[in-house]
Structure 1
Amino acid sequence: MTVPFDLTVLWAFIIALAVFIYVVMDGFDLGLGILFPLFPGKQDRDVITNTVAPVWDGNETWLVLGGGGLMAAFPLAYAVLLPALYAPLIAMLVGLIFRGVAFEFRWRTRATRNLWDIAFTGGSWVAALAQGIALGAILQGVHVEGRHYAGGWWDWLTPFSILTGVSLVVGYALLGATWLILKTEGDLRDKAYRISWYLMIAMLLAIAAVSLATPLLTNQYAQRWFTRPAVFLTAPVPLAVVAVTVLLMKNLAQKHDVWPFFLALALFFLSYAGLGISIYPYVVPQSITIWQAAAPERSQLLMLPGVLVLVPLILGYTGWAYWVFRGKVGHDSGYH
C-alpha cells in the first residue's frame, strides 16, 4: 500500500516535535533546580517548587514519546545512537530519578530537607548537562560501520560536547528564571528579573559559541550555512535571534511578567530550528539519513493512527493542566 505523502518525513517531524516540546517543557523545571542554590530561603524554595508541582510530572511524557517513537519509526538510528550515548543517557536518567525523588521527599521531612534540596539541584544539573552532551555527541557524528556503532565508550566526550552541555544548562536556567518571573511576585520575582539579565547574556554567548563551532565540525554544516543559495534560507534564523533578543531585553527592562518566558522559548525554538537545518536529512549526522533508518512503510502506517490520536490528547490534557493552574503562586500556596 502506498500513501500520497512521505511517511518518513512525517515521522521525523513528529519525533522532532516531541523532543522539542520535552526540551521546552521539562527545561524550565530543570532550570528551577539549577537555580535552587541562588534562592537559599526555605519559603522561596517552597514557592519555586509549587510553581511546577501540578505540571512537572506530565512534562516528561514527551521524552517517552520521543524515545519510543525513535525506536519504532527509526529502529536503525535507535540501534546506532543508543550504544554511542550510553554514558550520557544513563547519567540523564539517574539525574531525572534523583530530581523526581527529591522533589517529592523534600516535602515529607524537615530533618533531611537540605539533603533532598541538594539532590534536587544535583539531579537537575546532571540531567541538563547530560542532555546537552548527548546533543553535542550526535552533532559531531558517531562512528558507523555498516549498520552498527563502531566507536568507543568515550567518543561522546569532546570539547564540543562539553560546550553544548554547558550551553543547555545555561538555556534551561534562563527558562527557569523567566518562569519565575511569570509565576511569582514580590522579592522573588525581582530577583528572578536580575538573574535573567545575566542568563540572557550567557545564553547569547553560548548560542554564538555553538553556532561558530558547529560549522567547523564538518564541511556539510559549513556549506549549509555559508554557501549560496542555502545561505538565503538559513540567514533568517540568526536575524530572528537578534530580533527576539531585542524584544527580550525590552521586556526585561520594562518588567513585563508574561513575555520574557515566551521570548526565551522563542530563542530555544530558533536554536532548535538551526539544529534541524544543520543535520537534515540525516538522523545520524554524516552517516544515516531518515530514509535509511526508517522502519518499513507498513509499520509506519500502522503506528500513525495511534500517534495522531495520542499527540492531540497529550497536548489537550497538558494545556488544560497549565490553564487550570495559571496565575501567580504566593507563599500561601501549598503542595500536597
Structure 2
Amino acid sequence: MCTSIFTVTKDGKYLLSRTMDFSFELDTQPVYLPREHSFESVVDGTEYVGKYGVLGAGTEIEGLYTVADGVNEKGLSMAELYLPGEAYYAEDSKEGAINLAPHEFITWAIERFATIDELEKELHQVHLVAKSAPLINIITPLHWIVTDRTGRCVVIEPLTENLTITENSVGVMTNTPNIQWHFSNLHNYLHVRPKQYPPVKFGEYEARAFSQGTGTMGLPGGYTPPERFVRAAFFKEHIKQAENETEGVSNAYHILSTVRIPKGIVVTADDREDFSQYVGTMCNTSLTYYYTSYENYQIAKVQMTDELLQSTEPRMFKVQKEEAFKELN
C-alpha cells in the first residue's frame, strides 16, 4: 500500500509527501544519516559510502539503519512504495554492475546524488537482486518517486532487468499497477470536478441537487491503489494552492487524509490490518522533514541544520506515539 504526492507552493517550495501503509508494525521514527554513512550490500558485500546527509523516516536494527523516504542536504527527495506483482528482480548478482537488494536502492541513491539528472546517468548500472529486507524478512517489491530542487518529479520502476524512469507530470504515486497504467486510468474520471452540476430536466420534472458536492459524484472511495491514485490526484489538483511551506505541509496532510487508512478498514487475506502507520513530508527547499504517527496527529518537525550536518553518527528522533492535546483551560 502507500500513497505519495508532490506539491508546489506559490513561493516555490517543493514538498514530497507520503503515507506509509503496511500490515507489519515497522516502529519507524525520523532519522538522520550523516555524510559518509556506509552500508554493505546483502547481495555481494560491497561497501557503499554516501556523500550527503539525509533526513527521513526509518528504522535501526542492530546498528543497520534503513530509510523508506527522505531528503538529502542537496534537496533530492525520495520515497519507496510497494509494487507487488510487477517488480522484476534478478536471482543473481551481475559482474561489473552495482548489485543492490531492492530495499537498499533508496539509501544508495539518496546518499550519493544531488539531482535526478545525476541519478539518471548512473541508473543503467544498477542491478537489483531478489534479497530479503531486514525486520520483515521478505523480498520487497518496490518502486520509487523522486524529486529535486529543480521541481522535477519522476518514478523509477523495476519492470524489466533495466530500471525505467518516467516523468511524473501528475505528481502522484500509489502501488500496482505501474505508473503509466495510472496515468491512463485518469481518462475515466473526466466528469469529476469541484463545481456543482446544474439542475437537469426529465420531461417537465426538474431534478435539483440535495446539497453541494454533485461534481464529486463518481470519485472513487475505496482503498485500492487505483482508487487512492485518482482521489489523491483530484484533491492535489483542486486544493487551493498553498502560499508558503507551512500552508503546503497543511495541504499535504489534508490531501493525504483522503487516503489515510484507519486500523480495521483494510484487512489482508491472513487477517492482518493494513493501515497508515505514518505520514511524512519532505521539503527539498528548506531541507525539513515533517512526521505524524498513526497514534498522534501532532506534526513533528526536524530540519537539517549546520549543526546536524556536522554529526558523524546516525541519529534517531523519538516522537511521542500517544495522542497529544492542547489544553485550553
The TM-score, its normalising length taken from structure 1, stands at 0.27
Higher helix share: 1
The TM-score, its normalising length taken from structure 2, stands at 0.28
Higher strand share: 2
